[in-house]
Amino acid sequence: MKPVMVALCGMGLCAAVAIGMQLVSDEPADDAATAKEPVAPALSQHSAPAGQPAGLWSWGAIGNSVISEPVEALLAQALKPANKPAEGNDPRAMLRQLAKDDPAVMKQLMENYDKQSDLQARDLIVSLLSGVEKPEVLAFSKRLALSKDMAERRDGLTILQRLGGDVPDAHPVILQSLADEKSPELIKVALAALKPPVEADGNQAQLKQSKDAAAIVAQLQSLTRNADPTIRIQSILQLAQWDQTDGSQEQWAQALQDPAPQVRQAAVTAVAQSGTLAGTVKAALLGLANNPQESWDVRGNALLVLERFPLRQDEAANYAQLRSQILGS
């Protein structure tokens, strides 16, 4: 079943989607990871490699054995109170580029995370590693996500959330977090770490993705009953991406009648994306459109989604009357 995209109206619905899908910023929050000015370790004065300018590389040759001192020194500089650095001399930008280019620096950052007790220093390292899409960082983030320490679980899930797309190898960790996590904050981060599934290449990949999708859908369906409305929003929107079997009719119909208005708004969007034509969902959409206590934006959007549903004669007459009243057409 292919998703059906519908142009929905109103600011309220946009807000619902923003709440559901942007709880955790995709961009690393560099400015948040600052601390009181630490004492930077003294820098060793090494000569620059042949053909390279002095400065950053005076601490060691990139690509060879990068010693720990320059990484720790740059971390200390990056944690100083935020001042606009001189162009080309931003320690965070340097560290981020080094982590991408040099496996030794990437490894040192992960080791520094394990040695650090300062939360702001750890936040900075998480921010730096979030831009490095390498197997080592994926393994590191999965280890943290399964930690007994809540702050480490948050950091691991945050790195997974900032990956560029769906990573099937991360599914088991995310599923375990969604099933076992008690903190609403971390459930939201785990939900944000789920990305729309990509088309798998080859029979084995398709089989694994199909198996993962069934487990993910089941867990998302369970979370649509969570006490936190934001978790219900994220779950219902994720179901529209992951449920390709039209097996979430009950959850969509319930969400369209949710006591929280922002959940009902998100449910209309989810139904539009899902492509479902289920009778229970149609009845819930008609009920929403007929509810005089509902906002006009949500009622109008429900009518737009109903355009694709087959309607009985009485339903069509009701629909036409509502469309004339609410949408003026």
Query: How confident is the prediction along the chain (329 residues), in pLDDT tens digits per residue?
Result: 544 445 565 544 454 545 444 444 444 444 444 444 333 333 333 333 444 333 333 334 444 434 445 788 888 888 887 666 666 678 888 899 999 999 999 999 999 999 988 999 999 999 999 989 999 999 999 999 999 999 999 999 999 999 888 889 999 999 999 999 999 999 999 999 999 887 655 444 454 556 789 999 999 999 999 999 999 999 999 999 999 889 999 999 999 999 999 999 999 999 999 999 999 999 999 999 999 999 999 999 999 999 999 999 999 999 999 999 999 87
In angstroms, what CA-CA distances link 274 with 16, 27, 193, 245, 252? 17, 28, 20, 10, 10
Report the pLDDT value the prediction gives residue 242, as an integer from 0 to 100: 94
Q: Which of 203, 188, 199, 235 is nearest to 216 (CA)?
A: 235
- Mapping DSSP to helix (H, G, I), strand (E, B) and coil, where does residue 57 land? helix
Query: Token digits for 150?
Result: 């809540």
Longest dimension (CA), the chain: 85
Report the pLDDT value the prediction gives residue 244, as an integer from 0 to 100: 84
Q: Is 239 within 8 Å of 253 (Cβ atoms)?
A: no
Please tell me the distance from the alpha carbon of residue 105 to that of residue 255, in angstroms, as a whole number: 47
Report the pLDDT value the prediction gives residue 87, as an integer from 0 to 100: 65
Report the pLDDT value the prediction gives residue 80, as an integer from 0 to 100: 85
Please tell me the distance from the alpha carbon of residue 266 to that of residue 261, in angstroms, as a whole number: 9
In angstroms, what CA-CA distances link 306 with 262, 288, 294? 19, 11, 16
Q: Is 7 exposed, middle or buried (0-12, 13-18, 19+ CB in 10 A)?
A: exposed
- Mapping DSSP to helix (H, G, I), strand (E, B) and coil, where does residue 25 land? coil
- Mapping DSSP to helix (H, G, I), strand (E, B) and coil, where does residue 249 land? helix
Report the pLDDT value the prediction gives residue 8, as an integer from 0 to 100: 64
Report the pLDDT value the prediction gives residue 72, as an integer from 0 to 100: 86
Report the pLDDT value the prediction gives residue 114, as an integer from 0 to 100: 95
Query: Token digits for 158?
Result: 């945050």
Task: Break the chain down into helix, strand, coil percent, rounded to 5.
Answer: 60, 0, 40
Please tell me the distance from the alpha carbon of residue 99 to that of residue 96, in angstroms, as a whole number: 5
Report the pLDDT value the prediction gives residue 44, as an integer from 0 to 100: 36
Q: Which of 78, 117, 112 is nearest to 96 (CA)?
A: 78
Please tell me the distance from the alpha carbon of residue 200 to that of residue 292, in angstroms, as a whole number: 45
> How confident is the model over 142-198, as pLDDT tens digits?
999 999 999 999 999 999 999 888 889 999 999 999 999 999 999 999 999 999 887
- Mapping DSSP to helix (H, G, I), strand (E, B) and coil, where does residue 195 land? coil
CA dihedral 84, 22, 226, 228 (to 10 degrees): 60
